[in-house]
Structure 1
Amino acid sequence: MQGIGFMKTRSHKSPSKRDVAVPTEVNSKGEATENCAGTSLQLSTGTSFMVLSHRRRSRKVPLRPVVCAGISNGRCSVPGHLYHQLRSCDFAKEKRRHWAILAEERSIRVSKHVRASMQQSMLLKEEQAEVPWGVRDYIHSSLIFTAPCNRSEKWKSRGVLQSHVKIVILLADQWCTCKSPASPRPPVCLGALVLESQVRVGLFGSGVGLSLVLGFGVAYACYYLSSIAKKPQLVASNKRFCRFLKEYCPVVTETYYPTIWCWEGRVQTLLRPFITSRPQVQYRNELIRTADGGQISLDWFDNNDSLYYPDASTRPTVLLLPGLTGTSKESYILHMIHQSETLGYRCVVFNNRGIAGEDLLTPRTYCAANTEDLEAVIHHIHSLHPSAPFMAAGVSMGGMLLLNYLGKTGRDTPLMAAAIFSAGWNVFESVESLEKPLNWLLFNYYLTTCLQSSISRHRQMLEKLFDMDLVMKARTVREFDKQFTSVMFGYRTIDDYYEDASPCRKLKSVGIPVLCLNSVDDVFSPGHAIPVETAKQNANVALVLTSCGGHIGFLEGIWPRKCTYMDRVFKQFVQAVFEHGNKIFSM
């Protein structure tokens, strides 16, 4: 604040029509008390001072002092628009912590170490206030009062600014030109400042701001409960299968409450790898040979400490299939193994060729349409534990591969049942969705670079058959599949490959109970591409469709670190199949 000066006291002038006296007085101890008998600020007999008012003319213009009225005989007159705010103010109890008058050569600044003591009006000693050098020797004491000042309705409605009136009264020794008066004289009031200032406050410092926050919170809660938190849609034409799910896998009928601060599909997809924990799992790796001379890496979690199934030969086994570039180290795979461990089951993770760190022995990787490697893995596991109950669960592309396998084999499979999570049902629709500008920026380009990285370490083996420089220039999944995947597996065009890789075309042939979980806001598998009508034509298929969840997201709870909705569906369905499967196998 600039331009605050101290002027010599002068005789009292009659108050104007807008000047009204303040019904407050200061006793001998320097305390502010209410004077009910009069309407003036009585300091002490024979004192006189001046009142200055600060008004902000613009939000960017500093406060400027304006002389309101000259006062004498200890009576202070203030403008009428301040009187109604000051007359009912109990200065002794008014609490305003954060204020200070910035110092310049001719202004007063309250020291930082006395701000805390300004919760109540009190007598400030001479050494507690910093004043101009020329006035310092004459200060006897000072009084500070703070009172709220209501603004106009215009500013009230905005709820952004809040005004206060600061009254700083300096009591000094009798004004004289010498630094040391000859004899002590009664103190006089050197000056008083009435500051009307606008202070920007936060949302919670304004009643209107708080009301806005509460109103927004209530509106958001209503929107969340009405449009976001919903029960999943259960699609199952077989009533017996449907009753089985409702009885032994009730999570598919419960309301899914996605994380309130990240329920949108893209956000859930992006945050899941960073938010969810990564349980510690000790694997036993096994490399098996294929008919074409290649090798496949399997990571076993034997769960030898199982209390429920101590006999390894009859211990239930779950085969897990990760996503497009996923391995046994993915967080969703680790969570599935953790859920299976608590139930006493054994898990095996099928790593696609060349993904888990093993070398490629032949110039061949993997794709969603070719199920030869999966058939070899299922046959190998079943031959090791023929008496053990056996089922599989696939995630994303792993789910697509598993569905294509089940559509090809029908009932001729050692699997009892299967669980599918976030599978891309129609590859054409999936690729088109991923090529939208925002989805390309968030997912498509990154996924393409991951595919290129997975084959770059096998460049010497693959460049015998492919133009690797052209493959490495791909910027979308479609371009990568056109230059690499479709060529590797002998498809004439990329459309032929996408048609063969789409599970929706083989869903009618599935011959074992399959539970499929998808979110309608999954950008990898758009809601309109989910084959609801086709699923109704197969009694072995049940779809669980949530309104939110994204791609392998399904986050729930305030801080969804340990368990997701997908984990709960997996745990309940696997347990229902292994422990109550006889009730659905006879349907």
Structure 2
Amino acid sequence: MPLVQSPYRPPLLYRNGHFSTIYSALLRKVDFPEQKRERLTLPDGDFLDLDWSYSETGADRLLILLHGLEGNAQRPYILGSVAIFSHSGWDVCAVNLRGCSGEPNKRYRSYHSGATEDLEAVLQHVVSTCSYNKICLKGFSLGGNLLLKYLGEKPLHFKEVCGAVAISVPCDLHDSLIQLNKPKNFLYARRFRMNLIQKLRDKQKLFPGLITEQTIREVKTLKDFDDLYTSKAHGFKDALDYYHSCSSLQFLEGISIPALLLNARNDSFLGAKCYPVQIASKHEQIYLEMPEYGGHVGFYRQGTFYYNEERALSFLNNLT
């Protein structure tokens, strides 16, 4: 498909990528939509908590939301999507990835950028217990990478799944890591690292023989975390093997349903490889939109809803 020309032009202050990123993550307030929690038991005995919001009109359409690194189903960017879709006749299922719902998960493993087996389990559960005619996916950052990988790595098992939107996606995980390690992103990387170290300490209480104090002290960077924990817990050789195996970039050509990828050009988390222009320009199902502004999961728009939320609703509503 031709690359999508973006109409997004925020107010002057929000054209700064860092301001857009920080404001949307830490300062945005969203009226809390009603959510009902369901615990899904996974094939390996672990669990995912699903937070459901229902349209008042009785929907035959479902949106499944996937959060980003160290996010959850109550983050403003998730709640904004819940609100706009539930107000527009959709039911919404916001997935808390393993260990992200306020309670440590049971297994030594956790969530990661390529854990598509967990998304498969959610879809299997929804299709077998509900009667939606149309199921769509929306993912942010890590969650966006996960859903694009899922859509492209093998044929879809569920005919109900008909569209997807991915926001601020590090399509090449190593390229994104390089960006996060730059001085301009020091505060973000530090915040992520501190949160992940706390997760390691929580995991240590359950698995003291596998995670030592020395292991935790050695986590000086995000790559250290992936070398010392992510790769070991999920069967990868090391961090670089994890990044290579789980980057969605290599799976994009296999996507068979309409998918919108919205990556701002001033997203400081993304390097050049995270903008798959050549692939999208030749692909019949990938719509790549690269506005000049938006930051990382920012996309401020004055009013109740942000640009990425209105854009996702319009894109998915127009699918037949």
> TM class, shorter-chain normalised?
over 0.9
2:104, 2:298 → 1: CA distance?
Answer: 31
Residue by residue, what CA displacement relative to the aligned partner does 1:196-246 show, whole Å, maximum 9, x if unpaired?
A: xxxxxxxxxxxxxxxxxxxxxxxxxxxxxxxxxxxxxxxx25xxxx8xxxx
Structure 2 SS opposite 1:450 = helix
Residue by residue, what CA displacement relative to the aligned partner does 1:329-375 show, whole Å, maximum 9, x if unpaired?
A: 10011110110122111000111111102342221211112211111
Change (3 A) 1:368 1:258: same
Of 399, 418, 424, which residue of structure 1 is paired with 2:164? 418
2:81, 2:95 → 1: CA distance?
Answer: 14
1:487, 1:537 → 2: CA distance?
Answer: 37
* Count of equivalent residues: 319
1:338 pairs with 2:83: yes
Structure 1 SS opposite 2:115 = coil
Is the Cα contact below 8 Å between 1:320 and 1:348 reproduced in 2?
yes
Residue by residue, what CA displacement relative to the aligned partner does 1:415-471 show, whole Å, maximum 9, x if unpaired?
A: 11111101101111101111112212x211111112222343232223332335423
Of 49, 62, 79, which residue of structure 2 is paired with 1:297? 49
Change (3 A) 1:290 1:274: closer
Is the Cα contact below 8 Å between 1:297 and 1:358 reproduced in 2?
no
Report the residue type matching 1:336 in the other structure: S
Moved over 4 A (4+): none
Report the residue type matching 1:269 in the other structure: T
**Which residue number in structure 1 is paired with residue 174 of structure 2?**
428
Change (3 A) 1:536 1:383: same
Q: How does 1:15-414 map to 2 (within 5 A)?
A: 236-237=1-2, 253=5, 255-303=7-55, 305-306=56-57, 310=58, 315-414=60-159
1:400, 1:254 → 2: CA distance?
Answer: 21
- Structure 1 gaps, min length 5: 1-235, 243-251, 582-587
Change (3 A) 1:318 1:498: same
Greater fraction of residues in helix: 2
How far residue 290 of structure 1 moved from its aligned partner, in angstroms, is 1.2
**Which residue number in structure 1 is paired with residue 318 of structure 2?**
576
Structure 1 SS opposite 2:318 = helix
Structure 2 SS opposite 1:448 = helix
- Structure 2 gaps, min length 5: none
1:513, 1:574 → 2: CA distance?
Answer: 9
How far residue 538 of structure 1 moved from its aligned partner, in angstroms, is 2.2
State, as a whole percentage, how many aligned pairs show the same letter: 27
Of 194, 216, 219, which residue of structure 2 is paired with 1:471? 216
How far residue 512 of structure 1 moved from its aligned partner, in angstroms, is 1.1
Report the residue type matching 2:297 in the other structure: I
Larger radius of gyration: 1
Residue by residue, what CA displacement relative to the aligned partner does 1:184-207 show, whole Å, maximum 9, x if unpaired?
A: xxxxxxxxxxxxxxxxxxxxxxxx
Residue by residue, what CA displacement relative to the aligned partner does 1:44-93 show, whole Å, maximum 9, x if unpaired?
A: xxxxxxxxxxxxxxxxxxxxxxxxxxxxxxxxxxxxxxxxxxxxxxxxxx
**Which residue number in structure 2 is paired with residue 534 of structure 1?**
279
Q: More relative contact order in 1 or in 2 (CA 8 Å, sep 6+)? A: 2
1:464, 1:403 → 2: CA distance?
Answer: 35
Change (3 A) 1:524 1:318: same
1:387, 1:285 → 2: CA distance?
Answer: 19
Structure 2 SS opposite 1:372 = helix
Report the residue type matching 1:327 in the other structure: N
1:439 pairs with 2:185: yes
Is the Cα contact below 8 Å between 1:518 and 1:544 reproduced in 2?
yes
**TM-score between both structures, scaled by the size of structure 1:** 0.52
Structure 2 SS opposite 1:262 = helix
Greater fraction of residues in strand: 1
